[in-house]
Structure 1
Amino acid sequence: MKYWNLKKINQLAFEKTSIIPNSMSKLFDRFKQELNPNAEVEAIEEFKVAKYQTLTSVRYILILLVMPILVNQVSKTFILNPLVNHFWNKNSSQIFINHSQEERAFADLQRFEEKLHFEILIGQLDPSSLDLTQKKISDKALEIALEYSEESASAIKNIIADLMSIIIFASTLIINKRQFSILRSFISESIYGLSDTAKAFLIILFTDIFVGFHSPHGWEIVIEAILRHLGLPESRDFIFIFISTFPVILDTIFKYWIFRYLNKISPSAVATYHNMNE
């Protein structure tokens, strides 16, 4: 089977404006194709190529998604878990790997002490049993220490496993350049082949989720989860600076794409987007 012609796939994305409207040009091309005596053979050939492109793209997407996740989970379960737990537990005095964990641990213990004090005030605990209260606080402190020690060990495992996954992902992209080109062309053709309403809907959905007025809190949750996953300190200054800059940069890039490419190949989609966004 012939390989997919990338130039033919991407011609919509780089189509230049002309005096004749695109709709008229497409109408003439359709008439020309219908009058072509080899139209049926070409249609079958195009169907075979499209089928090959779709199957290759789906298979490549599955490889890109499954391989890094599989390597991540297998490495953490069978390699990193025993190694990291052995070396981490060997140094039993080490509990925290950043100050954010300490602050959260102390806050957890303080809340527990306040809870005990509240139970004493309302009569649920005997105020004279100081030894029992102190034992509960000590048990809770040990429980918190064990919890954050496991969190620290998990962060180390996550860093190593994520690096391995990134290496596998990058290697897959580099080794299978032809499949990546086919996938990129398939995605471009799928996006540019959507109707104007669908394009406008996806643009609004994307911008509202990632760069909309209600996005800062979502970005904050995501960044905190990533920092905690990697065992990095949860600096509020860094989070606020990131939120105040990255969505703006993302919005600028997106608007440039609309102006540079989408406005050329589908001005009606841009007009629909502006009408829906008003």
Structure 2
Amino acid sequence: MFTNPPVPSKNQKPIEPIGVIPRSIIRTLNRFVIQLFPNSNLLLLQEFRISRYQVLVSFQCLLCLIFIPLIITFFSKTFLFRPLTEYIWNTQTDDIFLNAYLEKEALVELQNFEEQLYFEYLVSPTTYEPPNWASYLTDLDLDEATLSSTYNYRPELLKSEIQKKTLDLAVEYNQKSIEALINFFSDFLSFGTFTLLVFTLKPQVIILKSFLLESIYSLSDTIKSFLLIFGTNLLVGFHSPRGWELFLDLVFHRLGLPPDEKFVLLFVATVPVLLDTVFKYWIFRYLNKISPSTVATYHAMIE
């Protein structure tokens, strides 16, 4: 009727039991006992060398992961992507705008400039003449000849200002289109370089990971709980959707893409929930075994 309990495999790691005495006190007592032996100086010296090696390797790995992608991206963006993109965009294509979103943005800016110029012209008491604006006559049912005749009555000063603004906007948004393409290629190269470094420096990354975990776990329970609450509230808290929307808006603006409201709503509705699930699972599965006092402090602070 009763089956035998499952036998743990050899590869299965035993779970360290949680006792009445905190493990930090046990580790301190073990170090004190080790120092009582005659060869304690050699052990301490070896431990110091290992710690120094771990710090140096972690520091070098962190610098490589941060600065090597930035340096490669800077030089490739300056000497490769920018000249090549400007040459192809300005010589091989006749387009000024990368997409319809940038074109619409330029038209809105030109319309705002026309309205501001028209208002300043109207409030001028000395040179006031009722100008006929082509942009304001498009709502009327007029043929092309009528529009052309009314356009000729527009003051020359206003026409020259609008033409100058139009040329400035054309140059500005042509450069924005080029910058969007350059940012896309440079960001892709930066991500690829970072990924390649992670796989190439895998032993150093493992040492860096262990060093960071050890540094975090060596903090006090209050500081760890504070960092945990700060991270969860920042990424999955009540005000986190505003931050995610701002982040996506910056990404869209950098790449010259139109903001997709449906994609933003879907992203904000799913990603924070997924991160919240990961945080809770990590707290329940790992942090509760490694530092139960931190979990207790965390629950006491959020209540």
Task: Name the CA shift for 1:99/1:36 in 2 (closer, same or farther; >3 Å).
Answer: farther
Per-residue deviation, 1:19: 4.2
Q: Give the 5 Å matches for 1:6-21.
A: 16-21=16-21
Match of 2:243 in 1: 218
Secondary structure of 1:35's counterpart equals: coil
Task: Name the CA shift for 1:108/1:29 in 2 (closer, same or farther; >3 Å).
Answer: same
Letter in 2 for 1:157: I
Secondary structure of 2:180's counterpart equals: helix
Q: Give the 5 Å matches for 1:21-170.
A: 21-23=21-23, 25-26=26-27, 28-91=29-92, 93-123=94-124, 126-127=128-129, 128=131, 130-170=155-195
Give the Cα separation in 1 of the matches to 2:270 and 2:234.
Answer: 16
Give the Cα separation in 2 of the matches to 1:187 and 1:58.
Answer: 11
TM-score, length-scaled by structure 1: 0.87
Task: Name the CA shift for 1:275/1:19 in 2 (closer, same or farther; >3 Å).
Answer: closer
Which of 255-264 and 231-240 deviates more?
Answer: 231-240
Post-superposition CA distance 1:45-88 (Å, at most 9, x none) = 11110111011111111011111000111011111111111111
Give the Cα separation in 1 of the matches to 2:240 and 2:260.
Answer: 19
Structure 1: state its 5+ residue gaps.
Answer: 1-13
Question: Does structure 1 retain, via aligned residues, the 8 Å contact 2:18–2:289?
Answer: no
Task: Name the CA shift for 1:216/1:122 in 2 (closer, same or farther; >3 Å).
Answer: farther
Aligned length: 265
Match of 1:5 in 2: none
TM-score, length-scaled by structure 2: 0.80
Match of 2:9 in 1: none
Give the Cα separation in 2 of the matches to 1:254 and 1:95.
Answer: 46
Post-superposition CA distance 1:183-203 (Å, at most 9, x none) = 111111112221101101111
Structure 2: state its 5+ residue gaps.
Answer: 1-13, 132-153
Letter in 2 for 1:140: K
Letter in 2 for 1:21: I
Task: Name the CA shift for 1:19/1:205 in 2 (closer, same or farther; >3 Å).
Answer: closer
Percent same amino acid at aligned positions?
A: 42
Which of 26-35 and 217-226 deviates more?
Answer: 26-35
Give the Cα separation in 2 of the matches to 1:93 and 1:241.
Answer: 36
Task: Name the CA shift for 1:206/1:265 in 2 (closer, same or farther; >3 Å).
Answer: same
Letter in 2 for 1:101: L
Match of 1:4 in 2: none
Per-residue deviation, 1:15: 5.7
Post-superposition CA distance 1:86-120 (Å, at most 9, x none) = 11111463122223212321221121122112213
Per-residue deviation, 1:228: 2.0
Give the Cα separation in 2 of the matches to 1:131 and 1:167.
Answer: 54
Per-residue deviation, 1:27: 5.3
Letter in 2 for 1:147: E
Per-residue deviation, 1:277: 2.2
Per-residue deviation, 1:37: 2.9
Give the Cα separation in 2 of the matches to 1:20 and 1:48.
Answer: 33
Give the Cα separation in 1 of the matches to 2:280 and 2:105.
Answer: 40
Question: Does structure 2 retain, via aligned residues, the 8 Å contact 1:15–1:265?
Answer: no
Task: Name the CA shift for 1:15/1:183 in 2 (closer, same or farther; >3 Å).
Answer: farther
Match of 1:193 in 2: 218
